[in-house]
Amino acid sequence: MASYDVIFIGGGPAGYVGAIRCAQLGMAVAVVEKEGLGGTCVLWGCIPAKALLESASLATKISHTAKDFGITVGDVQLDYGVAMKRSRAVSNQNSKGVEYLFKKNKITWIKGTGKIAGKNVVSVKADGKEEKHEAKKAVVICTGSRVKGLPQIGLELNKSTVISSDEALILENAPKTMAIIGAGAVGCEFADVFTAFGTQVTLLEVLPGILPLEDADCSTELTRSFKKRKIDVLAGAKVGNVKVGKNSVTMSVDVGGKKQELEVEKVLVAAGRAPVVEDIGIKELGVQLTDRGFIKINERMETSVKGIYAIGDVAGPPMLAHKGMREGVVFAEFLAGEQHVHKVNYGNVPNATYCHPEVASIGMTEAQVKEKKIDYKVGRFPFSANGRARTSGETEGFVKIIRDAKYGEILGAHIIGAHATEMIHELAVARENEFTVEEVDLAIHAHPTMSEAIAQAALDSMGRVLDA
């Protein structure tokens, strides 16, 4: 039996970052991972999807906007299969990068499927064999999450006509028609990708607007943009009478009492993810779960059983890679006895959706501020009035800042537009350090840049906007 200080079950963003931080703090570390290092994010999520979105962006620019910039191209040929293979290569490169970091930090990768087999013991199965390893200080569960279908309405995943994002990432060809069920970040990103490669996409969302976790103004703006690109956006949609065939899927869609029949080559189910908590030994040990089926943890990432910890998607929302990464760091520093550990600020985790236009946010939406009955003011600035946006032809969208009326505290910030997912971090830093809108304005923003829109939105919230 090999012995380590800490064993992580799962090598995704939470696990590999936590493992590296533990190693930096002098611990002997092992990570159990059956596939490739990097987990779902690197292999089947964030990284390959963003690689495809870059292909989609380039396809759209060449096909539709190049002429406006004085560039005339010939007949444009789109090949989803080539874009897919590039995305897989990018994913593999990232996974190899994590392997390099493990070697650099002397972290052991144990290939196989891990399970807690008793106090301080992890069993690993691989190739029909089983071996056990000791974790003297901690076992960390970071098994992540999995895609889920919608069997209750007849959309059980079959990897053929009813697919998840996993299968979408390895399609050889873009289908002629596709329905995407669920208009959260994943649904909107794939709507963007497949539309760029010639698919007629119908985007269906049961809630009143797409990107339902984002501010309503961003949802409205993205809906407008998608419809301009001929994406059929149906919010408040109820799906029924589903018939799954060998080469197509038919269904009835009811939106506000108006019914229509829909037939598509493929249905992509993007209706959320479920935590992977089965068959990892926690039930036998009595590890408590939340009402929603996630592993219950405290601020130190401890579960209800001493010596067992949980981080990442399996430990609850927001189910985002960067949230899991920070949990991994915080866990490691608490375990090492570090002083003044900065606990995870769950109220300041940025959201990022990488469709075009991009959507990013931090803090509360306007609806949430109203619900809390906080006295607030809103500042907005459109990219159509931003010089840098005009030069790049990326004038869709806006910056919206919600501030406390009395003190100028930034309650929430929302950006929709080009590079929104990069720009949001100025406001994440501001909120983490309790800067006010006045202090955002005091930082001189280079001209011309897209980020000037943030400064102008801050000024607008104070009634002092300059450029609009």
Q: Which pLDDT tens digits describe the chain residue by residue (468 residues)?
A: 799 999 999 999 999 999 999 999 999 999 999 989 998 889 988 999 999 999 999 999 998 889 999 999 988 999 999 999 999 999 999 999 999 999 999 999 999 999 999 999 999 999 889 999 999 999 999 999 999 889 999 999 999 999 999 999 999 999 999 999 999 999 999 999 999 999 999 999 999 999 999 999 999 999 999 999 999 999 999 999 999 999 999 999 999 999 999 999 999 999 989 999 999 999 999 999 999 999 999 999 999 999 999 999 999 999 999 999 999 999 999 999 999 999 999 999 999 999 999 999 999 999 999 999 999 999 999 999 999 999 999 999 999 999 999 999 999 999 999 999 999 999 999 999 999 999 999 999 999 999 999 999 999 999 999 865
Beta bridge partners of 125: 113, 130
Give pLDDT, residue 466. Answer: 85
| Cα gap 126→446, rounded to integer Å | 55
Helix axes 321-335, 13-24, angle to 10 degrees: 30
414 is catalytic: no
Report which of 121, 115, 111 is spatially closest to residue 37, judged by C-alpha positions: 111
The 3-state DSSP class for residue 289 equals strand
Q: Which two tokens stand for residue 459?
A: 């000024």
Catalytic residue among 133, 322, 342, 447: 447
- Domain spanning 151-271 has what CATH number? 3.50.50.60
Give pLDDT, residue 195. Answer: 97
Sequence length of the chain is: 468
Q: Which two tokens stand for residue 347?
A: 């109220």
- As annotated, the residues of the chain forming the CATH 3.30.390.30 domain(s) are 357-461
Asked if 415 contacts 444 with a C-beta cutoff of 8 angstroms, the reply is: no
| Cα gap 71→396, rounded to integer Å | 22
Considering only the top CATH level, what class is 357-461? alpha beta
| Cα gap 461→340, rounded to integer Å | 35
Report which of 226, 198, 209 is spatially closest to residue 77, judged by C-alpha positions: 198
What is the pairing mode between strands 162-163 and 266-269? parallel
Residue 185 CB: number of other CB atoms within 10 A? 20
Asked if 182 contacts 155 with a C-beta cutoff of 8 angstroms, the reply is: no
* First-last CA distance in the chain: 68
C-alpha 304: how far from chain center? 28
Give pLDDT, residue 52. Answer: 96
Asked if 416 contacts 397 with a C-beta cutoff of 8 angstroms, the reply is: yes
Residue 391 CB: number of other CB atoms within 10 A? 10
Q: What residues contact 320, with CB distance under 8 A and at least 6 apart?
A: 349, 351
- As annotated, the residues of the chain forming the CATH 3.50.50.60 domain(s) are 2-146+274-346, 151-271
Give pLDDT, residue 40. Answer: 86
- Given 3.30.530.20, 3.10.20.30, 3.40.50.1820, 3.50.50.60, which CATH number is that of 2-146+274-346? 3.50.50.60
Give pLDDT, residue 434. Answer: 96
Residue 126 CB: number of other CB atoms within 10 A? 14
Give pLDDT, residue 35. Answer: 85
Give pLDDT, residue 468. Answer: 54
| Cα gap 317→314, rounded to integer Å | 8
